[in-house]
Structure 1
Amino acid sequence: MNIANICISHKYSDILEDDSFFHVQVGAANNQTDLSIHRDDQGDNISRKNPNYCELTGLYWFWKNELPNYDVVVLNHYRRLFLNDDEEKLSYQDIEKIFQSYDVFVPYPKHYPVSITQQYQIMHESKDFDILKTILKVKYPAYDVETLWDNNNKGYLYNMFGMKADDFNQAMIFVFDILSEVEKQVDISQYSVQQARIFGFMSERLLSLYVQQNFKKIKHLPISFVDNEEKVHIFKENKGVNDFAYKCQKPFSPLVNKTLKTVMTSRSK
């Protein structure tokens, strides 16, 4: 089994010294620093869109230029890495063993105090998510957005996953087909740097939707996360919120939205 255990980076960190990863520099077209690893501005690429597409520019580059060489694709970030069930570094042997019993692996799900739809509307631009949902309904009507977004508070974050090559290919077709259409319909010219990362945020929801819709044998794994103070945290199952959605028939008021945004931001730190 030929495994691409990708690690996405945009700047130097110690992880670049670990040659067990397939290192990719994202946003390379906009960066004067050459990390001396694979760059996402070679061949067929969308590297210059990195401020809006985040790690997806690295995924796109790999998908278009490297995928035929691999049987399995895994995505890590330089500060977020998959671990095995013993909370140790995920090895190639671990990955091979997982695919003997499972179809895909992802981080443990995040449970929000609101639905997936409401969470996006509170934290980002509500109108953009309406556009995304409309495009999904038209182009991919088989996807159960009502169940998995409107009436569900569980999702997989960080665009992190492990998939067999054929499944990865289909997932990328799905995600980029939708995002390219959303890009035509939204105006982000006045967005803050954070909100301009819109397509990275949307892809988290889309990949989570894709996994839940298309796979039955899903393996959840812990991840390690290095914060800005270089402290390492282990994220496993989030038991802070019960596994059901708090559904509201009408949009929340601005005051409630502000309060929930504060709560959810503090929970994510």
Structure 2
Amino acid sequence: MTNIYIATHKCYDFPTGYIPIHVGKALGGGELGILGDDSGDSISVLNKSFCELTALYWIWKNDLSRGDDIVGMVHYRRYFKSNGKYQYLKGKKIASMFDFSELLNGVDIIVPEKNRFFGMTLSEQYAKYHNKADLDITRSVIEDMYPEYIFYFDSVMNESISSFCNMFVSKKNIIDGYFEWLFSILFEVRSKVDIEHYDDYQKRIFGFLSERLFNVWLERNKCIYKINYRKVIEIEPTPLVLRFKKYFKRTLFFFGLK
């Protein structure tokens, strides 16, 4: 069985074989006629601060795949590059369901290829665009709960390259181990931070933190699991002007002007 979910908050052209899942469905916004992240054991109501993690949590708790079945998640605008058995989506070649069994041949987990921050480390980038205290609290939580990970946390945060987007394809039993680790940390961090005064962008704190933490988990477990860092195909790249606006908004927050 191969279940690859698409995290989405709106109607879109979804590729054949994938399973779209409506993130934050419990918060309203209309019926999309697809699977929602609000059924069974869910945290859909936390979507504004957990972002696509509400879909990851649903997959962890509700997907019925067996341990050796393949599960994964992509975004409605982002997919993994095909290995040859592609399908088209809006004129772009993306991986089909037939691709994933081949891509996982001799590999345990597929994640997005790493991107580089020029002139700053992950820790410096987080401090510049978000609230550094949140990252410090996260480090403290990891030190208390999973001290064997603290070396890898510090190592990753001092790097200038990282995998983002919270996308993956893996066997269910492997990724479930990551989910258990991740959510235990994030729920503890949530009990220690006050985001009431944050703007809507900064309230996405747990989505931001999780992207960094995925790299920590991967670094700690790369001696156990073989990782395939794969190119991501953007169906609708963010226009340059929107990227500039996001940069300007984050800069205002950094200087205390927003």
TM normalised by structure 1 equals 0.80
Q: Distance in 1 between matches of 2:209 and 2:238?
A: 27
Residue matched to 1:128: 134
Q: Secondary structure at the match of 1:106?
A: strand
Aligned equivalent of 1:212: 219
Structure 1 residue 141 displacement after superposition: 1.2
Find the aligned partners of 1:49 and 1:9 in 2 and give their Cα distance: 15
1:203 equivalent in structure 2: 210
Hey, what does 1:106 align to over in structure 2? 111
Structure 2 residue corresponding to 1:187, chosen from 194, 204, 214: 194
Instruction: Give the % identical residues.
Output: 32
Task: Report how many residues are paired.
Answer: 232
Q: For 2:143 and 2:222, how far apart are their aligned partners in 1?
A: 20
- Indicate yes or no: 2:188 matched with 1:175: no
Is 1:41–2:38 an aligned residue pair? Answer: yes
Amino acid of the structure 1 residue aligned with 2:189: V
SS at match of 1:185: coil
What is the CA-CA distance between 1:175 and the residue it aligns to?
Answer: 0.6
- How far residue 149 of structure 1 moved from its aligned partner, in angstroms, is 2.5
TM-aligned CA distance change 1:194 to 1:187, over 3 Å: same
1:94 matched residue in structure 2:
99
Task: Give the aligned partner of residue 61 of structure 1.
Answer: 58
Residue 154 of structure 1: how far off its partner (Å): 1.6
- Give the SS at the match of 1:13: coil
The partner residue of 2:124 within 94, 100, 118 is 118
In structure 1, stretches of 5+ residues that fail to align are 232-257, 263-269
Partner of 2:244: none
Please give the per-residue CA displacement for 1:110-138, whole angstroms capped at 9, x wherever unaligned: 11121111111111001010000111111
What CA distance in whole angstroms lies between the structure 2 residues aligned with 1:141 and 1:176?
Answer: 16
Contact 1:6–1:24 (Cα < 8 Å) also in 2: yes
Determine the C-alpha separation between the residues in 1 that align with 2:207 and 2:111. Answer: 17
Deviates more, 1:95-104 or 1:191-200: 95-104
- Compute the RMSD of aligned alpha carbons: 2.2
Find the counterpart in structure 2 of residue 265 from structure 1: none
Change (3 A) 1:230 1:22: farther
Residue type at the aligned position of 1:59: L
For 2:52 and 2:108, how far apart are their aligned partners in 1? 23
Q: 1:31: Cα distance to partner? A: 1.8
1:56 partner letter: L
Greater CA drift, 63-72 or 174-183: 63-72
Letter in 2 for 1:4: N
Tell me if the contact between 2:112 and 2:231 (Cα under 8 Å) persists in the aligned partners: yes
CA contact (8 A) 1:104 1:215 kept: no
What is the aligned counterpart of 1:72 among 70, 76, 81?
70
